[in-house]
Amino acid sequence: MRKLLLLCALAVSVAAMAQEKKQEEPVMTKEKGGVYVINTTTICDAKGYKSPTPLKVTVKKDKVESVEALPNMETPKYFRRITDELIPKFAGLKFDECEKVDALTGATMSSNAVKANLKAASDYYKKNK
């Protein structure tokens, strides 16, 4: 029983530290050369099959330069398809063009969550750049 209580206390502490870190990270930073980096962790909670799918979106001259998946709890086998097949399609597109990229069959929920995160990044970028 004592071990269970210790594990529960540890889990609560880890969750609290993760929440603190989550709140400390800025949503958007401006880097050299007019590059903006947007972290969608706190601005979008769109869920894939199992969990939210936050992204780090790099933007230059109003175009998506790159998209990186941040840690999530999605099924690795299916989310690997997202990182290998879907996410690379966004590079070089304007945010409005990203909406036209089709979801991946077999990973539709995760695809839609990733696209929702891109939409959130787009909205935040347009309001705050």
What's 60's domain CATH number? Answer: 3.90.1010
| Phi, psi at 60, each rounded to 5° | -140, 130
Residue 16 falls inside a structural domain: no
Residue 64 falls inside a structural domain: yes
Domain count within the chain: 1
- Per-residue pLDDT tens for 33-90? 999 999 999 999 999 999 999 999 999 999 999 999 999 999 999 899 999 999 999 9
Residue 1 CA, chain-centre distance (Å), reads: 38
Position 4 scores a pLDDT of: 53
pLDDT at 107 over 60: yes
Residue 15 falls inside a structural domain: no
Position 20 scores a pLDDT of: 52
Residue 7 falls inside a structural domain: no
- Per-residue pLDDT tens for 10-26? 545 545 555 555 557 89
CB contact at 8 A, 43 and 116? no
Which residue range(s) make up the domain with 99? Answer: 26-128
- 26: its two tokens: 């800025």
